[in-house]
Structures are given as structure tokens and as C-alpha cells.
Chain A
Amino acid sequence: MRLEVCDAVCGYGTKKVVENISFTVQSGEILCLLGPNGVGKTTLFKSILGLIKMLGGVIKVDGENVHAWPKKKLAQTFGYVPQAHTPPFPFTVRDVVIMGRTAYLGKFASPSKVDEEIAEQALDTLGISYLADRVYTEISGGERQLVLIARALTQQPQILIMDEPTSNLDFGNQARVLGQINELAKKGLAVIMTSHFPNHVFLCSTKVALMQKNNKFSVGSVEDVVTEENLKSAYGIDVKITTAADDCHTLRSCIPIIN
């Protein structure tokens, strides 16, 4: 499977927010989207998901324009993981996860036993089966984020789109969620995620896209894109990239320099 974003122009109404975005992601790849606040990362996501009309360009999966597809097929291909939030009603985790099956159900149908088993499997994959009977509004933010990922997996998509999957998570949960994302990519999913932490790129990305103000967009390997100069130009601060090593890994990290 190959997702292509070709010359995308995205925005609201007639107002362009981002222009000339092109990149490709394949099965098993993780593309991490970096960029300062307000640069248009969410706008780009919404355009890819078909939530807002593209002002130009095209998004293709295996050569087919996805926005010509019916809504259901779109939802069967793209799984969206929003930032963890609280819905107004106290659904159980199981209820929430099984909603991922919507794209496969008939007009008047509700989930069958098969759908229930797929939801169970998704919970199992992420190691959170123990949460199944808990109330979604009562679990922790990290758990909620994992539940939303499970819901997206229940959608059985080929591409996962994750909007800051690590925001609001503590240090440990951030690493756990990133670990899960790596596992999912190994199973053949293509992942596109945003993050506010360049460090996350070192932990789980195979590809990085850096969005900057004035429509500067660069995409490429981690080594090419996440450099001290690029981060300085994107975020407007001095950054030092350091390397550390333990027994079997070389670890890299970005450290902002505060004067």
C-alpha cells in the first residue's frame, strides 16, 4: 500500500493554510510531522481524512484518488486517532472500541459477534484487555489514548493518522505509546503522526516531515531533516543534538538551549 500526497493545498473556504505539500508513505513506514503551533498540521490531516475540501492537489492510495471514494471505503482505509478527550456520556471502553466497526456495518445494523471479537483483538494487541469493562471517562489520559488507538485498529485500516498521540501523556506513557506505534508499523500499517517533540522522531520514525511558517516543507529521512539548523529555523530556538550509547543502541536526543 502506498499513500501519496501530491501538491496538496489545504485550508478553509478560500483561505489557504498550507501549500505545495507532497510526500509518500508506504506500509510499515512511520511519518512524523513536526512543526510549530499553527503551521497547519491539523489542517493537513483534516484534508487527508476528507473532513475539509482540498483547495488543490490530490491524495492517492495505490494510485486512486481517495476523495472520489465513498465515505465508508475511506474509513476502512484510514483510521484516525484524535487527541484523547472526554465524550459527554460514560461509555464503557468496549463500547468505544467497537465503534471502530461502523465503517463495516450496514445502514441499520449494529455490531455482530464477529465485530465484538475484532474489538477484543484490538484491545489484546495493545495489551489493554483489562480495561474493557471500565468506563472510558474514568480511566487515565494515557489509557484513553490507547483505547482510541484500539478503536482505530478495530477499523482495520491500512493507514493510521494520529494527531499528537503523546500529548497529555506522562513520560512513561509517551514511551509506551510510541513503542506501540512501532509495533503497529511492523505489522504492516502505515502511520502518519504529529508530535511536538522532535525527540519522538528518533524513537519511532522512519521518515520526517518538517512544516515551517511561510510554507517551507521538507520531508526525508530522520538524519536529513532533523538537524540543528532545521529545528532552529522551524522553532526559532537554538537546539543541540546529542548522541548517547548504551550496550546495543545509539540514542539521539534534541536539547533546546535556553539563554
Chain B
Amino acid sequence: MKRFSMSNTVVFLQKNRAEYYLTAILVPVLVLVCLCSLTMGRYAISLSDIFSVFYTKIFAVDLAIPANVETVLFKVRIPRIIAAVLVGASLSVSGASYQGLFRNPMVSPDILGASAGAGFGAALGILLSFGTVGIQLYSFLFGLGAVALAVVVSSAITRGNNVTLVLVLTGMVVSTLFSSFVSLIKYVADPYSKLPAITFWLMGSLSTASMKDVKMMLFPFLLGVVPLMLLRWKLNVLSFGEEEAKTMGVETAKLRLVVIICSTLLTAGSVSVCGIIGWIGLVIPHFARMLAGPNYKILLPVSLLFGSIFLIIVDTVARSAFPLEIPLGILTSLVGAPFFIYLLFKGKRGWL
């Protein structure tokens, strides 16, 4: 009997290890994708140039490198790629967490109104002729505010049971409300200057991402992603439902609040910097689940890495494939929608 269970444990570890390898492989893949993305674009830079630039920076030696290369790398591409890494990771981690929390694989990070609220904040900021920082701050705060509104209203409605259902419904209401506010602002905005600015902002883009933006995003990113990573195993238990999780010793109300706060920080943080980029939070967790299985212990890091890789690739295509840069939100939907259909065809084991 004892030997039997021993051998079972060995099988368990081996099986688990295979899934850990996936995370281990994805990290170098991410680095590789970053490097490739650095070389690509309107102004092509060779890998050797990139390494020389890093070499001169690190060892403070002076190699003859064109000033353009350094400017493009440090002022444009590196911030943009870091922003893509952060945004891709944010949206897929919050999407994956929400899917567990709401026990529904169709849920995306904007379910409680974070994106709609952040979009409204940005539109309002543009309407009031704020600077970049002001727009981002407004966007971020309204993103948080919208979710807070949804949570407060739903907790006033709920009497103990069906918490998540009421939460989703109030989230939808809040989302719709803020979307109408956005439409209202668009309606009154100056059609020659402000309206196009709002429209482009809402389509999502990383084209203006600077080191300053990256620094602004980093704080909410870490604040959101670290607790979720630490608590990720408990998301498994939560996906079995409120009552069952409670009988297994999870303080569901607390955990739910933490997950909502963290996911909202992530979503509002990325929307405030780069506008609304759809589909990533829905599609990437699915894709990760197909490869890594539903266990959040592995699923969440894998989602994070896939999200980053995916967004870098899409953003690289957005800025280099066509003569005119395509807004990122359009491209992620164009790629995401058929990809999702493919996943639906491919997935058979109760992914839906």
C-alpha cells in the first residue's frame, strides 16, 4: 500500500514538473521576443548594434554608435516594449483571476466597469484639456471609482447569497452607464480637435508610451500582481463557488475583495496609459488554460507571460507591418476574435 502511494507521488511530481517547464520556457521566449521587437520597426536596428549599445551603457566605454540608434532604442522602443509587457501581463492576469472569481470562463477584466470608467476618465480629461499626466490620473481614478461603485451597489443589494451574480449584473450596469457618459462627452466635444483625440485614445495604442508612462504603470502593476500571485492557489478553491470555498476554510469575502482590488488596479493602470485594448484578458487565459491546465498555481504565471508575449508581438506588427500605425485595440480584436473561435473548436474538455 505504502509503495503504491509512493509511486503515485513520483508520477505527481513528474507531471507537475512538465507544467513548470512551460513557465521556464516562456521566460526566455519573452526575452527573445523583446529582442526581436527591438530590432524591428520603421528604423531597423541590427542585433549587434543593440548589444553594443547595452555594452557601452553597462561598461561605460565609448563605441561609435549612431546617436539615432540610442535615441530610438531608449526613447521609443524600450519604453514601448516594457509598456507592452506590463499591459499584456496586467490584462491577462486580471482576466484569469476574474474568470476564477466569477467561475465563468467568459469573463474579461472589464466586467465590473474598470475599462468603461477609465475610458470615461480619459475622455473627461481630454475634454477639459488636461496634460498627459492629468488624463492618465483621471482615467486611473475613474477606473477605480467605477468598480467601487459596482461593488458598493451590489453589496447593498445582496443578502448573503448569489454575491457574484449580483456583482456581475451591477458591473454591467456601471459599464453601460460609463459608456453612455463617454458617448455624451464625445457628443459635446469639439469635433475637429477633441473628438478625434478621444476616439483615438479609446482605440488603444502604445505609440506614445514613454519611460514616464512606464514608471506610472509600474506602481499599480506591482500592487496588483504581487498579491494575486501570492494568493493564486486559493483562486482554485474559489472557482468551486462561494459556499464550498467557505467550508474549506477560505474567507471568501476578504479574498474576493482582494482579487477585485488587485485586478482593478491592473486594468485601470493599463487602460489609463494605453487606452482600451480588448480581448487579451479573455483570450490569453483561455489559451494558457489549454496549455497549462486550470490550476492557478501554474495558470497565472503562464497567463502573465503569454499576455506579455502576445502584446509585444501584436504591437510590433501594429507599428511595423503597415505604412500607417494601426491602433492596438483594433488589432488585438482582429487577431483575438478568430483566435478565440479557433480555441473554441480546439478545446473539448469543458473549457466553456
Q: CB distance A109 to B233 under 8 Å?
A: yes
Q: CB distance A87 to B103 under 8 Å?
A: yes
Q: CB distance B294 to A103 under 8 Å?
A: no
In chain A, positions 77-124 with a C-beta closer than 8 Å to chain B are 78-80, 82, 86-92, 94-95, 99-100, 102-103, 105, 107-111, 113, 116-117, 120-121, 124
**Of B53-61, B240-248, B316-324, B327-335, the one with at least 4 CB within 8 A of chain A:** B240-248
Q: CB distance A121 to B5 under 8 Å?
A: yes
Question: Dominant SS at the B interface?
Answer: helix
Q: CB distance A91 to B236 under 8 Å?
A: yes
Q: CB distance B351 to A132 under 8 Å?
A: no
Nearest neighbor of A79 in chain B, beta-carbon distance: B247
A12 vs B350: C-alpha distance when bound (angstroms): 34
- Pick from B105, B240, B350: contact of A99, CB under 8 Å: B240
The answer to the question of A135 belonging to the interface, with a C-beta cut-off of 8 Å to chain B, is yes
CB distance from A60 to the nearest CB of B (A): 19
Q: CB distance A90 to B294 under 8 Å?
A: yes
A111 vs B289: C-alpha distance when bound (angstroms): 20
Count of B interface residues, CB-CB < 8 Å: 42
Q: CB distance B236 to A99 under 8 Å?
A: yes
Knowing A89-B294, A92-B293 are in contact, say whether A116-B249 is a contact too (CB < 8 A).
no
Q: CB distance A137 to B249 under 8 Å?
A: no
Question: Dominant SS at the A interface?
Answer: mixed
In chain A, positions 101-157 with a C-beta closer than 8 Å to chain B are 102-103, 105, 107-111, 113, 116-117, 120-121, 124, 129, 132-133, 135, 137-138, 155
The answer to the question of B104 belonging to the interface, with a C-beta cut-off of 8 Å to chain A, is yes
- Pick from B105, B245, B247: contact of A88, CB under 8 Å: B105
Q: CB distance A95 to B248 under 8 Å?
A: no
B245: which A residues are within 8 A, CB to CB? 102
- Pick from A51, A86, A90, A121: contact of B247, CB under 8 Å: A51
A75 vs B249: C-alpha distance when bound (angstroms): 5
A82 vs B245: C-alpha distance when bound (angstroms): 11
Q: CB distance B248 to A100 under 8 Å?
A: yes
Nearest neighbor of A108 in chain B, beta-carbon distance: B230
A108 vs B297: C-alpha distance when bound (angstroms): 11
The answer to the question of B1 belonging to the interface, with a C-beta cut-off of 8 Å to chain A, is yes
A103 vs B248: C-alpha distance when bound (angstroms): 6
A121 vs B234: C-alpha distance when bound (angstroms): 22
How many interface contacts (CB-CB < 8 Å) are there between A and B? 114
A133 vs B234: C-alpha distance when bound (angstroms): 21
A89 vs B296: C-alpha distance when bound (angstroms): 11
- Pick from A74, A76, A94: contact of B12, CB under 8 Å: A94
The answer to the question of A232 belonging to the interface, with a C-beta cut-off of 8 Å to chain B, is no
Knowing A108-B230, A110-B297 are in contact, say whether A89-B4 is a contact too (CB < 8 A).
no
A103: which B residues are within 8 A, CB to CB? 248-249
The answer to the question of A13 belonging to the interface, with a C-beta cut-off of 8 Å to chain B, is yes
A133 vs B18: C-alpha distance when bound (angstroms): 14
A137: which B residues are within 8 A, CB to CB? 349-350
Interface-central residue, B104, B105, B237, B251, by most chain A CB under 10 Å: B237
A89 vs B152: C-alpha distance when bound (angstroms): 29
B246: which A residues are within 8 A, CB to CB? 49-51, 71
B241: which A residues are within 8 A, CB to CB? 87
Q: CB distance A89 to B239 under 8 Å?
A: yes
Q: CB distance B294 to A71 under 8 Å?
A: no
Q: CB distance A72 to B105 under 8 Å?
A: no
The answer to the question of A222 belonging to the interface, with a C-beta cut-off of 8 Å to chain B, is no
Q: CB distance B236 to A88 under 8 Å?
A: no
A46: which B residues are within 8 A, CB to CB? 243
The answer to the question of B160 belonging to the interface, with a C-beta cut-off of 8 Å to chain A, is yes
The answer to the question of A52 belonging to the interface, with a C-beta cut-off of 8 Å to chain B, is yes
Q: CB distance A120 to B105 under 8 Å?
A: no
Q: CB distance B247 to A120 under 8 Å?
A: no
The answer to the question of B162 belonging to the interface, with a C-beta cut-off of 8 Å to chain A, is no
The 6 closest A-B CB pairs, nearest first, are A75-B249, A103-B249, A110-B233, A89-B294, A80-B247, A108-B230
A-B residue pairs in contact (CB < 8 Å), sample of 14? A51-B247, A88-B104, A88-B239, A88-B350, A89-B105, A89-B294, A92-B293, A94-B12, A99-B237, A102-B249, A103-B248, A110-B233, A129-B5, A155-B249
List 10 other contacts, CB 8 Å, given A99-B248, A105-B233: A12-B159, A80-B244, A80-B247, A88-B103, A88-B239, A99-B236, A102-B237, A102-B245, A102-B250, A110-B297
